[in-house]
Amino acid sequence: MPPEANREAADGPAASPPAHRGEPPRLAISLGQFSSAGRKSENQDFHGALQPEGVVRASKGIAVAIADGISTSRFGAEAAETAVKSFLLDYYCTPESWSVQASAERVIAATNSWLHGQNGRPLSDEERERGMVCTFSALVLKSRTAHLFHIGDARIARLSGGTLEPLTEAHRVSLGGGESYLGRALGVNRHVEIDHRRLPLAPGDLFVLTTDGVHDHLGDRQLAALVLDSNSLDAAAEAVARAALAAGSEDNLTVQLVRVESLPTGDVSDLIGHEAALPPAPLLAPGQTFSGYTVLRELHAGSRSHVYLARDEADGRRVALKVLSSEHGQDPAQVRALLLEEWAMRRLDHPHLLKAAPQRGPRSHAFIVSEFLEGRTLHQWLLDNPRPDLATVRTIVGQIASGLHALHRRGMLHRDLRPHNVLIDVDDTARIIDFGSVRVEGVDELGPREIEDAAYAGTVQYSAPELYLGEPASVQSDLYSLAAIAYRMLTRALPYGTGVASARTRAAQRKLRYAPAAESNPAVPDWVDAALARALAVDPRQRYAELSEFTFDLANPNAAPVKPEPRPLLARGAASVWRAIAAALALALLVAILTRPDLPGRSPASQQETKR
């Protein structure tokens, strides 16, 4: 068996099967690969590709990777094989909700740490030539975008219109006299710098991945001509490698060719499949049986959706069934958004987040089902408990923060955190219950959002100021909403009154002044007020970087609190203003009385002195 036979990771078929008639278009490629030891006794290159099927292809894409072990090291081949195999396997183990960049960089960093650990320490320029070190380049095709990840001197190029365009740069450091060394490679240092690039895709795009033994010895025109003149991509890959060998290459030779055959639509329907075309569920009534559920009563009726308490006839459990309102049900984008809400819920499992209910086979209408929780919204809870003590507020806010943190770890932003979307169950456990405005990093990569409502995704009282400037939602905007809830629980008021929604320029926002919580509730300690003020800062860069920092400072005095700016007297509330005015009037009256010359009991001498 030739050496190259063992230098390829397991991959899918050379060409992705086409979509069946009537199905929406999907991402499909043709793939050609070839690897040879060349004139060397051992092939230390490694390459591979994975082409998953179904929803994984839509959510994670197709991955292709190539690595080149350091030829002077007896561990080079092992390093290259480890890098490619770990990337192709571990990338698909990251959450579907993560972005390609977050997933790939996390996996590459973990592989680098493992290789570095095997080397035992950071390597000098001389030692790296003998350690477990390799170059690494990967191409991930997802939806209508190509993602490139690159470390070292392999190369990714794109062939278009007969011209080969290099898309990566070699990380080599010249020593002069024709000598150089790798300035960046896996396994050298504890941390690795990764080049990342995004490119839009078009059908017919042809990507060429090569190790330096190939592109260092072939001109781009010759390489392009060899590819275009071949009958198949496998034949083209072999022809390119053999031409590099004939040109004098003394190194291993590896070529991968990836041609884009078709692309998906580039929206949420790529992810949720045929369900995106389902008709919306009708409005329901108590006692009605629908899709295996018996409706017991209506829980909520709003302009966007209706929620019903229902019984799952398969096992008798009670569930919450959510359908679109009549108006929104006529909008296909709203139907897809509803189905995406359940898609997100099914990828979450946390005690402070609402869970999706088991799905009972295929559906004939678009609706979503979640677990049913006995309890009341935080909005109602606050009406029933208008003055909760600080310990209770800390407990509830901490539980909400825990659920929010779980969302953020999955690459999701809530964007509509408010008392109406938090439920306090019969065990006094807080849960976030609505995910209709959730933004998912991995889903956003499928294409532009169909329903772009970032500035108004939440309720105006709890939305962060930067959203009204058109800035995207962030972890810090979710933190602002959480802190606004905490402030509301302690004060029955809002930190900036109603001014945030009307402050839609930076100049207007600079005039906003935080109203200290202690003005409305003297029981709030200064250090708690300082924590709230920081989390509610108008500028998101001045807020806490992490939710855990905020919840910690709510329970523990900060040694260096950031105190809120003082506010003008007239902005401190009607009670404070009128108390100050009354005090000033009383003082003025006292002075006037004491200086009157005709007061009874005053001597003529004192009256004469007053006249003087």
Domain at 86, CATH number:
3.60.40.10
Q: How many percent of the chain have pLDDT more than 90? A: 71
What is the pLDDT at residue 579? 63
Predicted confidence band of residue 453 (pLDDT cuts 50, 70, 90): low
Give, to the nearest 10 degrees, the angle between helix 233-246 and helix 220-229. Answer: 140
Flag the least confident range among 23-27, 349-353, 385-389: 23-27
450 shares its domain with 515: yes
Structure tokens at 359: 């799905």
The one-letter amino acid code at 209 reads L
pLDDT score for 597: 59
pLDDT score at 461? 84
Percent of the chain with pLDDT over 70: 83
Output 461 or 434, whichever has higher pLDDT.
434
What residue type is assigned to position 192 of the chain?
Answer: V
User: Is residue 318 located within the same domain as residue 250?
Assistant: no
Only one residue has tokens 């209508």, namely 144
Lowest pLDDT segment from 56-70, 196-210, 265-279, 332-346: 265-279
Residues 427 and 359 reside in one and the same domain: no
Residue 527 and residue 587 in one domain: no
Give residue 606's pLDDT: 45
431 falls in which pLDDT band (50, 70, 90)? very high
Taking alpha carbons only, the member of 551, 566, 554, 468 closest to residue 515 is: 566
The structural domain count of the chain equals: 4
Do both 205 and 276 map to the same domain?
no
Phi, psi of 186 (to 5 degrees): -70, 135
One domain, residues 544 and 591: no
Claim to verify: residue 481 and residue 402 sit in the same structural domain: yes
By three-state DSSP, how is residue 36 classified?
A: strand
pLDDT at 510: 92
Determine, yes or no, domain membership for 91. Answer: yes
Residues 317 and 455 in one domain: no
What value does the mean pLDDT take over residues 101-115? 97
Q: Does any domain span residue 381?
A: no
Task: Give pTM, 2 decimals.
Answer: 0.83
Asked whether residue 43 falls in the same domain as residue 98, the answer is yes
Question: Domain for residue 472, yes or no?
Answer: yes
Residue 594 pLDDT grade (very low, low, confident, very high; cuts 50, 70, 90): low
Residue 581: what pLDDT? 61
Q: Confirm whether 36 is domain-assigned.
A: yes
Residues 505 and 583 in one domain: no
Distance CA 190, CA 206 (A): 34
| CA separation, residue 401 to residues 235, 237, 395, 465, 578 (Å) | 56, 53, 10, 20, 38
DSSP assignment letter at 461: T
**517 and 534 both lie in a single domain:** yes
Residue 110: inside a domain: yes
Residue 566, pLDDT score: 57
pLDDT exceeds cutoff 80 at 133: yes
Please give the single-letter amino acid code of residue 256. Q
Contact 162, 224 (CB under 8 A): yes
List the single range of 27-41, 346-360, 566-580 with lowest mean pLDDT. 566-580
Longest CA–CA span in the chain (Å) reads 129
Tokens, residue 303: 């302009």
Question: Does residue 378 sit within a domain?
Answer: no
Domain end residue (candidates: 345, 371, 397)? 371
Same domain, 345 and 397: no
Vertex 450: Cα angle to 444 and 451 (nearest 5): 100
Domain encompassing residue 47: 3-264
| Mean of per-residue pLDDT scores for the chain | 87
Mean pLDDT, residues 586-596 taken together: 66
Instruction: Choose among 371, 466, 374: nearest CA to 413.
Output: 466
